């Protein structure tokens, strides 16, 4: 494969160590990398998550392309040895993509990240002492990759502050002062992660959801973020109703409206009080809401609560899990 050596270099650059900061060149991407060194940690984490997601998707695409080449009519003309090498190569690339999602989970769990620009490689991301080169598997697409990362990152953060003429530290301080009286507007649930021999486990507020060892890391991550987001919104919605004097009857609580692509109506008591909230994932697993009720009741009383959930028992495996990939 013409891109084989380039990808192999990337595979070998996931090593222990710490990056050496170098002076960035005049490109916007490199100026952004340099400016992020003095940015708040959450800015670097956001950049890392976006860069890793884009990169993992690129490697998954390469793995799929390699398998397609092997299974196509053109692949039939290759020797069995050549075909076997391509299959092994495609699995190696996919394993690396899975590893990138593992780095993403580490960043989401709060492990510090740093960025550096080496004079001999593309940008290097350091996640808790582990390094990964932010290099597209096809060198001719590196610029497009960098632009895609910048575009998404600058939709989330103010890049004019980051790489403009205004002193970044001063701009951030001034913006923080203006926002001190109100929320930041970013309200995304970030699960914590534990990696065991039995598979990854994502956690949030005492809820632990376990997966199988071979479950796709990208699908696992997205499912956990969506699930815990729905649980958080449901709990906050109930709290809001309680402030209006609504009494919650846990045995009577049920999802009474399930419209794909829209919010669900949740009955809160026998009197018919309802709450409108997006529970598309929770409602897809009939047993889940009942499992959540004791945990929610304790949380609403201000008590600590824990709950162990199995993705397999909830039906999130195979095709049902892969849809989150």
- Using a pLDDT cut of 90, give the percent of the chain over it: 29
Which pLDDT belongs to residue 229? Answer: 94
Whole-structure pTM value: 0.54
Which pLDDT belongs to residue 102? Answer: 87
DSSP 8-state class, residue 270 = T
For 230, counting Cβ atoms within 10 Å of its Cβ (0-12 exposed, 13-18 middle, 19+ buried), the class is buried
Strand runs labelled E in 62-176: 113-117, 123-127, 130-133
Contact 230, 278 (CB under 8 A): yes
Which pLDDT belongs to residue 80? Answer: 63
236 has pLDDT over 60: yes
pLDDT in tens, 142-197: 888 888 888 889 888 888 778 764 444 334 433 433 333 333 334 578 899 988 88
Nearest to 61, CA basis, from 69, 49, 71: 69
Which pLDDT belongs to residue 119? Answer: 66
If you write DSSP's letter for every residue of 196-258 in order, what string do you get?
Answer: ETTEEEEEETTEEEE--TTS-HHHHHHHHHHHHHHHHHHHHHHHHHHHTTPPP-GGG-EEEE-
69 has pLDDT over 70: no
For residue 147 the two structure tokens come to 């632009």
279 has pLDDT over 80: yes
Length of the chain equals 325
pLDDT range class, residue 265, cuts 50, 70, 90:
confident
What's the rounded mean pLDDT across residues 135-143?
85
Which pLDDT belongs to residue 174? Answer: 39
Which pLDDT belongs to residue 77? Answer: 55
How much of the chain is in helix, strand and coil states, percent to nearest 5?
A: 50, 15, 35
Q: Give the mean pLDDT of the chain.
A: 78
Nearest to 125, CA basis, from 108, 145, 104: 104
CA 66, 71, 72: angle at the middle one, nearest 5? 95
Q: Which phi and psi angles does 67 have, rounded to 5°? A: -65, -40
Highest mean pLDDT among 40-49, 64-73, 97-106, 210-219: 40-49
Q: Which is more confident, 42 or 75? A: 42
260 has pLDDT over 70: no
pLDDT in tens, 73-125: 444 555 566 666 666 777 888 888 888 988 988 998 899 999 987 666 678 99
83 contact partners, CB below 8 Å, separation of at least 6 = 70, 75
pLDDT in tens, 241-254: 888 788 899 999 99
């Amino acid at each position: 494969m013409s891109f084989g050596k380039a990808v192999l270099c990337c595979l070998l650059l996931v090593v222990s160590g710490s990056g050496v900061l170098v002076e960035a060149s005049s490109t916007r991407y490199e100026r952004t990398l340099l400016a992020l060194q003095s940015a708040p940690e959450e800015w670097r984490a956001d950049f890392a998550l976006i860069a890793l997601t884009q990169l993992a998707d690129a490697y998954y695409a390469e793995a799929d392309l390699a398998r397609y080449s092997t299974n196509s009519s053109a692949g039939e003309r290759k020797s069995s040895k050549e075909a076997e090498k391509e299959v092994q190569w495609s699995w190696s690339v996919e394993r690396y993509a899975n590893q990138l999602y593992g780095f993403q989970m580490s960043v989401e769990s709060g492990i510090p990240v740093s960025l550096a620009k080496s004079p001999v490689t593309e940008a290097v991301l350091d996640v808790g002492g582990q390094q990964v080169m932010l290099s597209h598997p096809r060198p001719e697409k590196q610029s497009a990759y960098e632009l895609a990362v910048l575009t998404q990152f600058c939709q989330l953060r103010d890049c004019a502050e980051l790489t403009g003429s205004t002193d970044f530290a001063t701009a951030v301080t001034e913006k923080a002062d203006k926002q001190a009286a109100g929320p930041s507007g970013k309200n995304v649930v970030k699960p914590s992660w534990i990696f065991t021999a039995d598979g990854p486990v994502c956690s949030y507020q005492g809820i632990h959801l376990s997966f199988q060892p071979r479950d796709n890391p990208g699908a696992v991550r997205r499912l956990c973020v969506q699930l815990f987001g729905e649980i958080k919104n449901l709990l906050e919605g109930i709290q809001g109703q309680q402030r209006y004097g609504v009494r919650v009857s846990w045995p009577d609580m049920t999802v009474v409206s399930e419209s794909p692509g829209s919010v669900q109506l949740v009955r809160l008591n026998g009197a018919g009080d309802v709450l409108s909230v997006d529970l598309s994932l929770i409602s897809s697993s009939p047993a889940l809401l009942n499992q959540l009720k004791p945990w929610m009741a304790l949380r609403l009383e201000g008590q600590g609560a824990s709950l162990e959930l199995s993705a397999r028992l909830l039906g999130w495996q195979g095709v049902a899990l892969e849809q989150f990939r």
